[in-house]
Structure formats: structure tokens, C-alpha cells
């Protein structure tokens, strides 16, 4: 698939139980139902969206960044019932430097049920093989043991901790940075 094709229509990635399809403005209301939840968002942002209009504007901005080739935004859909179970995006995408960051929000009812375990492999394949990236970053608030566990499971390297990067109104949070390089991904493929 060419870069031109990727940035004409957001490609679908399909696994046994889930599908990643391009986000649309029509998804904003369903996304708002969980992106506005403080508990769901506790390891992502201290200030979740407050209104449906704000969510719509976020989706609009993600689609603009897609048009500018700076992001690929998907929704994660349950293949069995069609429910949106989360949102995933490759953001801070830079095709010249061949790098991107992972961004994911999973609906509370689907957390710790293997969604990321199932979708991360095709996402990495898309990033390294289709987009030709050299580096993919996953960063998370310190204390998000679930995200740290999945990143380590897939062979991401912990690069370090950025101290007190985010303020939630009461306290500062550290960010833990993980990354994977194309060479590390290729070595994993050879190992099987």
C-alpha cells in the first residue's frame, strides 16, 4: 500500500475480535460516552472532554492532522456487536524522521480484556512495514502498570522517566517513555 493510498482513506486493520477503522465525525457521540469519563482517562489526561461539542472538535482536529499526514486516527470496533470499544491513533507522525507515537483509549468495560494484546501486533506491522517507520514510541503516566506490561511484552525498551510532566489540578505526574525501533521489530519477526 502506497503512502498516497494511506492518506486517501484510513486503512482498516482487522483482527479476530476487533477492527480498527478510520474515525469519522459520526463517532464523536459514542467516543464522548467514555472519553469524558475521568476514571477511563486517568492515565491519559487529568482533564477529559467536558461536552459533546468538544469531542466533535477533537475528532475534527484528528482528521485535519490526518489530512496533514501527522496522524492516523482509528476507532476500535468489536467485530461481534459493532460497539466502539476504544480509540487508537498513531500521532506525532513524522514521515521524514520515520517516527510516531502510540495513543490509545479503551472503554472501561473492555480494559484488561486483551484488546491491546490483540491489536498491537497489526499496528506495529502497519507502522514498521507499511509506513516504513523507524521508531514507535509508547509513553504513559507512571503507575499505569497495564500499559507498561503490554509495551514490555511486545519488546519495547524503557528509555526513561520524564519527571512531573503533567499536572492534574492536585499533583504532578511522571511520564514513562518506551520505544521500539524497526531493527528490534525485525529481530522479533526472525525469532518467530
**pLDDT tens digits for 124-137?**
999 999 999 999 99
pTM equals 0.91
Q: CB count, 10 Å around CB of 178?
A: 22
Bridge-partner residues for 74, per DSSP?
A: 22, 88
Positions of the chain with pLDDT under 50: none
| pLDDT in the model for residue 41 | 75
H helices of 109-167, in order, are 115-125, 145-153
Q: Which residues form the domain of 117? A: 3-191
CATH of the domain at 45: 3.40.630.30
Total number of domains constituting the chain: 1
**pLDDT tens digits for 12-41?**
999 999 999 999 999 999 999 988 888 887
| pLDDT in the model for residue 39 | 81
| pLDDT in the model for residue 16 | 96
Bridge-partner residues for 23, per DSSP?
A: none
Instruction: Give the whole-angstrom CA distance, residue 136 versus residue 92.
Output: 10
CA distances from 183 to 76, 120, 153 (A): 28, 17, 17
Amino acid at each position: 500500500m502506497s503512502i498516497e493510498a494511506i492518506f486517501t482513506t484510513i486503512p482498516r486493520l482487522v483482527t479476530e475480535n476487533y477492527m480498527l477503522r478510520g474515525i469519522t465525525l459520526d463517532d464523536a457521540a459514542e467516543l464522548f460516552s467514555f472519553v469524558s469519563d475521568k476514571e477511563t482517562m486517568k492515565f491519559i489526561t487529568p482533564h477529559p472532554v467536558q461536552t459533546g461539542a468538544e469531542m466533535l472538535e477533537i475528532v475534527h482536529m484528528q482528521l485535519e492532522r490526518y489530512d496533514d499526514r501527522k496522524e492516523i486516527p482509528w476507532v476500535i470496533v468489536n467485530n461481534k456487536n459493532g460497539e466502539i470499544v476504544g480509540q487508537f491513533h498513531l500521532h506525532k507522525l513524522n514521515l521524514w524522521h520515520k517516527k510516531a507515537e502510540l495513543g490509545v483509549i479503551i472503554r472501561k468495560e473492555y480494559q484488561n480484556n486483551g484488546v491491546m494484546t490483540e491489536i498491537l501486533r497489526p499496528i506495529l506491522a502497519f507502522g514498521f512495514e507499511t509506513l516504513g517507520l523507524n521508531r514507535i514510541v509508547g509513553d504513559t503516566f507512571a503507575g499505569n502498570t497495564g500499559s507498561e506490561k503490554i509495551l514490555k511484552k511486545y519488546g519495547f525498551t524503557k528509555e526513561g522517566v520524564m519527571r512531573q510532566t503533567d499536572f492534574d489540578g492536585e499533583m504532578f505526574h511522571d511520564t514513562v517513555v518506551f520505544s521500539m525501533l524497526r531493527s528490534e521489530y525485525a529481530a522479533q519477526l526472525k525469532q518467530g
